[in-house]
Structure 1
Amino acid sequence: MAQPGSFAALGECTMCARKQDTAFPDYCAHCGGSVVLPPTGPALPDTTDLPGMWRYTGRLPVTPDTAWLSMGEGDSPVVPAAGTADWCGVERLQFKLDHLNPSGSFKDRATAVGMAQAVRQRASAVVCASSGNAAGSTAAYAARAGLPAVVLMPEAVPPGKAAVARAHGAAVLRVRGDYSNTFRAARELAGRFGWINLTTTFVNPVAVAGLKSAGYELAGQLADPPGWIVVPVGAGPLVHGIATAYRELHGSGEVAAVPRILGVQAEGCAPVAEAFARGADEVAPWQHVRTRISAISDPLRGYPSDGTYTLRLVRETGGAMAAVADAEADEAANQLAYREGLLIESGAAAGLAAVRAERERGTIRGDESVVCMLTGHGIKTLSTDVDPGPVITGTDEAVRRLRARTELAEGMAG
């Protein structure tokens, strides 16, 4: 295992602005607010030839001596919509395929940086609260780092997501109740044993800083800043990452503008969207979770400052928050699978559903450029009891069955 590097940084509370020691990540010791690392700048260091996100050494809290941890995270492609632009009513729709990160989600951007922190500090273990994707990410990078991982998940977690974490050797425990209960348990374990907490709320500002890489990449992949970047939101660290990166790039003169952020939540757990809708400055915890979409169902009980900070960021970009029904997110996932060839979990596909809804409301114009962050692969949420299809005994039966499908029948005449 590599020796610890020399990186150190003070965080800053998003509520009281007091400086914070990030050696043991947590919320502000004075007011309980969310802590983030200060932005890089005004002159941004050049990228390097190191692998994965270590190319941004100097902009992110990573050092070259931990680059061996990289599994190629980041550099996910941006592709134009082939079949869903008309469904949404948006002419210039693109997708950033962050579900193609090594563990199948954007979480790898934060986990890789947080794991480098754990290695530098010679942590005895890492712990993570997760509704699914962060669990697999933490377990995978812990396996690479040679560190034990403890993963806590809500009791109703999709079995496929728990299976991924177990496959990498993590100790997986399900916690009674919703995600906020799981978050509390992970925070208590981290405090009791001195483990590095890789939960992807704002509890670990060093890990959260890794999410800036998504904004750096987008700016380099697009000729001009898009009108909107659509981000699924639980607590909102990805909003922070993208907005902060674009602000840094704008401050250094490398991009012309900071795009507006459209943050998206599930109707059954939408504390940030609800606060936005009523014009509030602070987010209140969500009391009763009523959604199947585990990836973005964070009630924020015990850490509402995460939502308040995310709300502020969205407003500062001139953006908006939206909430979509479970059925709308499921339909968007189907559209992505059928029309685009992209297998995306409903929590990530919720962004596409929100684009359609906000286009109908007039929030988004049809001629604006829109990039949806597709944050999680759908393979981990596929049901295991789906009918795998009929068994045939020969070609004649295959032809008969295939002719019954309208999309094939015309090409099978004769």
Structure 2
Amino acid sequence: MDHRDRPEGLAHCVLCDRPQRTEFPDYCAGCGGPVVLPPAPVALPATTESTGAWRYAGRLPISQETAWLSMGEGQTPLVSATSTRAWCATERLRYKLDHLNPSGSFKDRATAVGIAQAITQGAPAVVCASSGNAAGSTAAYAARAGLPSVVLVPEAVPPGKAAVAQAHGATVLRVRGDYSNSFQVARELAARLGWLNLTTTFVNPVAVSGLRSAGYELAEQLSEVPDWIVVPIGSGPLVHGIVTAYQELRAAGMHTELPRILGVQAHGCAPIVDAFDRDVERVTPWPTVSTRISAISDPLRGYPSDGTYTLRLVRETRGAMVAVRDAEAEEAAEALARDEGLLIESGAAANLAAVRTARDRGWIHQDELVVCMLTGHGIKTLAAAGRQEAPLVANTDDVIGQLPAHTTKAPEDLNDRVKR
């Protein structure tokens, strides 16, 4: 049966193709594989006059009755790189500023659709396992919907990310161990208490479908298909969203090709990169997480099929995978902040370091169009970055004493204006 011919409301397992219902989302009951929704119709519905995810109602499993939930998620700017083009020797580099979503991350694209699902189904509460960004997103949209939310984070989560979820009224609990432990507890809670699981692995196909909006927007913002789209990866739903959107656009005759995906993981937690490098089909869980890049530190323990599916998608686009060391990601984050004015967390800034690696390996050519998905705001991780306290000054002379030498010489005409 073709995916487009399945009865409305049914999803399918990407491994065994078994039809699935989505009212109580989980992995495939047959093989344990990831479940996704079928593509939008070949005659792709036009965009609506609504904002946020509801601009794509008809393509996504949402209706205008829940459009009041929108906080303007998506529709984020796409800007050209300036100084950092030279940093990674790439002439046509663009940044998709998804850190400017309402809660500070791309997760809002999925969460908005997932909360609409919770409202429609009358879910008593929502639960989410998160390494940080999904925590704030779930808590924010649950607050808007008036739903109780429980967020489970790894014990080493950056305090700023947990604080965002707490500020929105969520019950935030740290679970001993890494992200996979939090994931397992969230899954068990959802099953036991009838809560809707909004964890942004592939556990909820309705919520994950909201990530297609990123691909739709890129296609609208660019006059050509990018040669590469660079995506930070934990388990990989954003890869699915972008690739699926471009597949739909191609089926509708609006594009003729797919962008190549460059997937990025942390060197200290890189199960999908490992499988890519070994040229194997199946991803195996990462044994021990050893990275400070919390946003993409998912060992996939208990759900390695997420990684297997993501790897398959990357290969279908003729793409590649790169692991980035902590120091490289942090250097890239500093370059984005100081040279581009973009405050990005290391998990998203790792994209820029990955582009430089891909250029060195000859995968990306200098004149190719490259789009980096900047998925998370850096303000939530500043406290964990060990920034020095700003110097305390009492007067103008104190200020001048603290300034870099090149800033202390004012132009003569400026001095004259000050005196007048």
Normalised TM-score (structure 1) = 0.96
2:162 counterpart SS class: helix
User: Which residue of 2 is the match for residue 257 of structure 1?
Assistant: 257
Partner of 2:301: 301
Alpha-carbon distance between aligned partners in 1 of 2:406 and 2:343, rounded to the nearest angstrom: 21
Confirm whether residue 125 of structure 1 aligns to residue 125 of structure 2: yes
Q: Could you say which residue in structure 2 is the equivalent of 1:78? A: 78
CA, structure 1 residues 407+95, in 2 after alignment: closer, same or farther (shift >3 Å)? farther
CA deviation profile, 1:108-138 (whole Å, cap 9, x unmatched): 0000000000000000000000000000000
Partner in structure 2 of residue 386 of structure 1: 387
Matched, 1:232 2:229: no
Superposition RMSD on alpha carbons, in Å?
1.3
| Correspondences of 1:43-82 after superposition (within 5 Å) | 43-82=43-82
Distance 1:51 1:103 in 2: 16
Instruction: Give 2:110's aligned amino acid.
Output: A
Give CA-to-partner distance per residue, 1:142-185, whole Å, 9 cap, x none. Answer: 00000000000000000000000000000001000000000000
Q: In the alignment, what sits opposite 2:40?
A: 40
Displacement of 1:257: 1.6
**Cα distance per residue 1:89-114 (max 9 Å; x no partner):** 00000000000000000000000000
User: What does the per-residue CA deviation read over 1:306-350, in whole Å, with 9 as the maximum and x for residues that have no partner?
Assistant: 000000000000100110000000000000001000000000001
- 1:383 aligned counterpart, secondary structure: helix
Deviation at 1:407, TM superposition (A): 3.8
Residue-pair matches, total: 406
* Cα offset, 1:412, TM superposition: 7.0
Shift of 1:8: 5.6
What's the CA shift for 1:377?
0.1
Q: Cα distance, 1:398 vs. partner?
A: 1.8
Instruction: Tell me the CA shift for residue 400 of structure 1.
Output: 2.6
Shift of 1:392: 1.7
State the match for 2:335 in structure 1. 335
Alpha-carbon distance in structure 2 between the residues aligned to 1:230 and 1:207: 22
Q: Once the 2 structures are TM-superposed, how far is the Cα of residue 411 of structure 1 from its aligned partner?
A: 4.6
Q: What are structure 2's unaligned runs of at least 5 residues? A: 1-6, 416-420
**Whole-angstrom CA distance in 2 between matches of 1:48 and 1:397:** 56
Aligned partner of 1:148 in structure 2 is 148
2:44 & 2:93 partners in 1: Cα distance?
29
Letter in 2 for 1:272: I
Residue 242 of structure 1 aligns to a residue in which SS? helix
CA distance, structure 1, for counterparts of residue 313 and residue 17 of structure 2: 15
TM superposition shift of 1:18: 0.4
1:273 maps to 273
Task: Tell me by how many angstroms 1:75 deviates.
Answer: 0.1
**Conserved 8 A contact 1:13-1:33:** yes
Please say if residues 224 and 256 of structure 1, whose CA atoms lie closer than 8 Å, have aligned partners that are also in contact: no
Contact kept? 2:400, 2:408, Cα under 8 Å:
no
Q: CA deviation at 1:82?
A: 1.3
Where does residue 174 of structure 2 map in the other structure?
Answer: 174
Partner secondary structure for residue 16 of structure 2: coil
- Alpha-carbon distance between aligned partners in 1 of 2:189 and 2:272, rounded to the nearest angstrom: 27
- Identical positions, percent: 69
Look up the equivalent residue of 2:138 and give its one-letter code: T
Question: Aligned in 2, Cα 1:391/1:104: closer, same or farther, shift over 3 Å?
Answer: same
* SS of structure 2 residue aligned to 1:192: helix
> What is the DSSP-based 3-state SS (H/G/I as helix, E as strand, rest coil) of the residue aligned with 1:364?
coil
Matching residue's letter, 1:10: L
User: 1:161 is paired with a residue of what secondary structure?
Assistant: helix
Residues 214-229 of structure 1: pairs in structure 2 closer than 5 A: 214-229=214-229
**Which residue identity does 2:24 align to in structure 1?**
F
Measure, in 1, the Cα distance between the counterparts of 2:388 and 2:124.
44
Contact 1:179 1:299 in 2 (8 A): yes
How many Å separate the matches in 2 of 1:367 and 1:386?
Answer: 37
Equivalents in 2 of 1:185, 1:407: separation in Å?
55
Is the CA contact (8 Å cut-off) linking 1:283 and 1:305 kept in structure 2?
A: yes
What's the secondary structure of 1:20's corresponding residue?
strand
Map of 1:395 onto structure 2: 396
Query: Taking structure 1 as reference, are residues 203 and 412 closer, same or farther at Cα in structure 2, changes over 3 Å only?
Result: same
Specify the code of the residue in structure 2 equivalent to 1:335: A
Distance in 2 between the 1:225 and 1:351 partners? 19
Deviation at 1:383, TM superposition (A): 1.7
The one-letter code sitting in structure 2 at the alignment partner of 1:115 is I
Match of 2:418 in 1: none
Query: What is the CA–CA distance in structure 1 between the aligned matches of 2:127 and 2:8, rounded to whole Å?
Result: 21
Letter of the 2:43 counterpart:
A
Which residue of structure 1 aligns with residue 292 of structure 2? Answer: 292
Contact 2:272 2:321 in 1 (8 A): yes
Q: One-letter code of the match for 2:35?
A: V
Give 1:393 deviation, angstroms: 2.0
Q: Distance in 2 between matches of 1:293 and 1:188?
A: 26
SS of the counterpart of 1:393?
A: coil
The residue number in structure 2 matching 1:376 is 376
Residue 310 of structure 1 corresponds to: 310
Question: What's the offset of the Cα at 1:360?
Answer: 0.9
Equivalent residues of 1:272, 1:321 under 8 A apart? yes
| DSSP-derived class of the 2:383 partner | coil
Matches for 1:4-23 after TM superposition, within 5 Å? 9-23=9-23
Per-residue deviation, residues 346-368 of structure 1 (Å, max 9, x unmatched): 00001111001110111111111
Contact 1:33–1:306 at 8 Å: present in 2 too?
yes
Give the letter for the 1:386 counterpart. Answer: R
Corresponding residue SS for 1:47: coil
